[in-house]
Structure 1
C-alpha cells in the first residue's frame, strides 16, 4: 500500500457503488482514511469491509443527500469519524434522461438538489476548514454532456454545467488559500447505474475515438491524480476522461 495520502482523510459522496466506490478504494490504497456516504447501507458496509480487509481505513455514513441540512449533517458526521476532511469528492448524483415535456417539477428539483445544492453546501461547510489549514483538494464529478447539447440529456447536463461553473468559481475563491478545486468529466462509463441503458449506452460509446465505454477504475485514476500532490499546480481544471469525446 502506498503512503502518498497517509494522514489525510477523504469524503466521497455516493461512495458505495460505481465511480465513487472505485475512488474510495483507490484513495484508501494510498493511505487516506476514507468516509463514504450513500443510501444503501448494505453496499456501503461492504465497501468498508473490502477496504479494511486490504489494510485501509474506512467508514460509511448512511444518508439521503437532498438539501443543505443533509449536506451539513454529513460534514459533521465525517468530522466525528475522521477528524477533518482534506479531500472532498462530490460524486453522488442522479441522471434521469428523457424528453423535456415529460419532465416533472419533482424530478427537476431532485436533480438540482443532489447534483448542485448538496455539493454547494458541502463545499460551504468544508472548504473554510481547509482554508484554515492552508491545504485541501475538492474534486467534483461532472459529465461530458455538460459541454454540448444532447437530446434527452438537458436536465442532467444543465445540472452538471452548473457544477462546472462552480468548480471554476471555487478555484478562484479558495485557490489563493491553498485549496485546489477541480473536476473530472467522465464519458460513458460502465457502472451499476448505467447498466440499464442498454443499446443507447453502447451506441453512445461507439461515437468516441476510444470506441468503448470507460470503467469506474479509469475515472478513479483521474480523481486520484487531482487529489494528490501530483496535481499541485492544477486549479479550476475540468479533466475530461471521456474516451476522446472532447476531440470530436
Structure 2
C-alpha cells in the first residue's frame, strides 16, 4: 500500500503564507517534506516557517510576486537551490478570486487573475516538471474551485481561470504522466480563510447549498492535497478531486 510519508522530499507550495497554502505547508512538513513556503508577505511567510520549525519540521520562505513571469521562473530556480537541487512536489495554490458582474471587471483585473491563476502555474510547471520527469517521479497538485465545474453568478472571471487550470491538469497528466510525474487537481468549495473573511454571511449561504452545509476549514483541503502528492495516490493521475462538501454532486 502507498504511504502518506513524505520524508526526503522537497515541496514547493505557492500562496503558502495563509489559508489553504499555509495549512498545506504545515501538513506536508508534518509528514516529513522539506517545504518551501512561497508568497509575497515575508512576515507572514516567516511566521509559517517558524511554526513548522517549532514542531520539528523543515521549511524555508521564498519571496515571489507571481504576477510577473520572470519572477515566477526565478521562484522555481530559487526553490531548486533551496531544495538541494530538486523539487519533488509542486502545489499551485496561489490565486485570487474576485467576484462580480462581467461588465464591471477592468482590463487590469482580468490580466491579474489570469496572470496569477493560469500563467503562474503554467510557468512553474514548465520550469519544474521536466526535471521531475528526468528523475522519473514527482507530484503536482493544482488548486481549482467548485465554480470551475458549473456556471455561477458573478464568477465568470474567476471560474473561467480555474477551468483553464483544470484542462492544464489533464494535459500535463498526459504530457508528464508517462515519465512518472503525477498531475492532479483539488476543487474546493467555500473555505473559511483570511481571504474569504470579507464575504461574511455570503460564505455561509454559499456553503448551505451543499450536503455538508458548512464552509470547510483550510486543513480539510490540505488533507486532500496531502493525499494526492503522496504515494498513497500512486495510481491517481489527471483527476479533479471535489472537496466541496458535496456541492457538485447534487
2:206 matched to 1:186? Answer: no
Note the 1:3-14 alignment, pairs <5 A: 4-14=5-15
The runs of at least 4 aligned residues of structure 1 exceeding 6 Å deviation read: none
CA offsets, 1:134-166, max 9 Å, x none? 000000000000010011111000000000000
Distance 1:158 1:15 in 2: 23
Deviation at 1:3, TM superposition (A): 8.2
Number of the residue aligned with 1:37: 38
Unpaired runs of 5+ residues, structure 1, are: none
Note the 1:37-116 alignment, pairs <5 A: 37-83=38-84, 84-116=86-118
Number of the residue aligned with 2:238: 236
Unpaired runs of 5+ residues, structure 2, are: none
Q: Is 1:111–1:159's contact at 8 Å kept on the other side of the alignment?
A: yes
Q: Is 1:3–1:31's contact at 8 Å kept on the other side of the alignment?
A: no
TM-score for both structures, normalised by structure 2 = 0.97
Distance 1:93 1:129 in 2: 25
Q: Is 1:64–1:70's contact at 8 Å kept on the other side of the alignment?
A: yes
Q: Is 2:11–2:34's contact at 8 Å kept on the other side of the alignment?
A: yes
CA offsets, 1:208-241, max 9 Å, x none? 1001010100000000000100000000000000
Task: Tell me how large the CA RMSD over aligned residues is.
Answer: 1.0
> Taking structure 1 as reference, are residues 3 and 147 closer, same or farther at Cα in structure 2, changes over 3 Å only?
closer
Distance 2:207 2:49 in 1: 31
Q: Is 2:34–2:58's contact at 8 Å kept on the other side of the alignment?
A: yes
Q: Does 198-207 or 216-225 show the bigger shift?
A: 198-207
Deviation at 1:80, TM superposition (A): 1.4
> SS at 1:138's partner residue?
strand
